Amino acid sequence: MTDTMIGVIGGSGVYEMGGLEDATWVAVETPWGTPSDQVLTGALGGVRMAFLPRHGRGHVHSPTTVPYRANIDALKRLGVTDVISVSACGSFREDMAPGDFVIVDQFIDRTIAREKSFFGTGCVAHVSVAHPVCPRLGAACLEAARAEGITVHDGGTYLAMEGPQFSSMAESKLYREVWGCDVIGMTNMPEAKLAREAELCYASVAMITDYDSWHPDHGAVEISDIIRTLTGNSDKARALVKRLPGLLGADRAPCPHGCDRALEFAVMTAPDKRDPVLVGKLDAVAGRVLRD
């Protein structure tokens, strides 16, 4: 058994998390640069918590400039075991309406301008992201959402686009009609991949703010309506998160799906060929296997 520590990465509209005991903003230095912001640490219901605003307080970072590697490293370095991503998204489905939540279980990564791995020349590793989210953690988010009376969908494919512009109508129709995606956003990749490399359980709670440009009534949607939905979603997200300590508990058994052992056979580079500089940078995310 280890101690549970829940890390929450808050997306657009979720820049703070109230109710934590002994809440303190702490600066975390990482070999991958400075995280998006300081990390708010504390406890809730006897379970340690850490909150990181993905875009920084005041929304400083665009989806492309979010320091994804630094963010995941910082959470791992603080002792986080389970990461909950909370992010705004658009919907490709009539029945997935603004204000609904989706517990994402698959991704299509269309981002092109981001560092997507902690590993590289001098220390090569390949992890599986066939199932990119943790079913145990996703189930807890689903239960918490239902307990809060949130309209929530169990499972969905998230199309991760580069942004910061929204998709064209042709792209939107491609993603919806040909590729069969359910929601679209700009931030869950490479975040989910990096969490897997860091052996962290990861779950994605996608909060729908609007229909994407495929929808015939999309042009009639006012930005004020989107902001209003975003604000309401943020309140619901915080309520959902507050239920997670009671569902996950303070004592944590090994992940039944192996998320916390994702690097077990992933590192390919022979020990005597590994770049010591890169290995040094990997101390938090991969030290468990590189020290063996």
Catalytic residue among 37, 73, 210, 260: 210
Catalytic residue status for 212: yes
Decide the pairing of beta strands 2-3 and 251-252.
antiparallel
Buried b (16+ CB within 10 A) or exposed e, 137-169: bbebbbbbbeebebebbeebbbbbbbbeeebee
Rounded Cα distance between 149 and 282, Å, is: 41
Instruction: Name residues whose C-beta falls within 8 Å of residue 94's C-beta, 6 or more positions apart in sequence.
Output: none
Catalytic residue among 37, 73, 212, 260: 212
The residue behind tokens 């406890």 is 43
Residue 146 CB-half CA count within 13 A: 10
Residue 253 phi, psi dihedral angles, 5° rounding: -80, 165
Q: How far is CA 70 from CA 35, 54, 148, 199, 285, in A?
A: 5, 11, 32, 15, 11
Is 217 known to be catalytic? no
For the annotated catalytic residues, the residue numbers are 210, 212
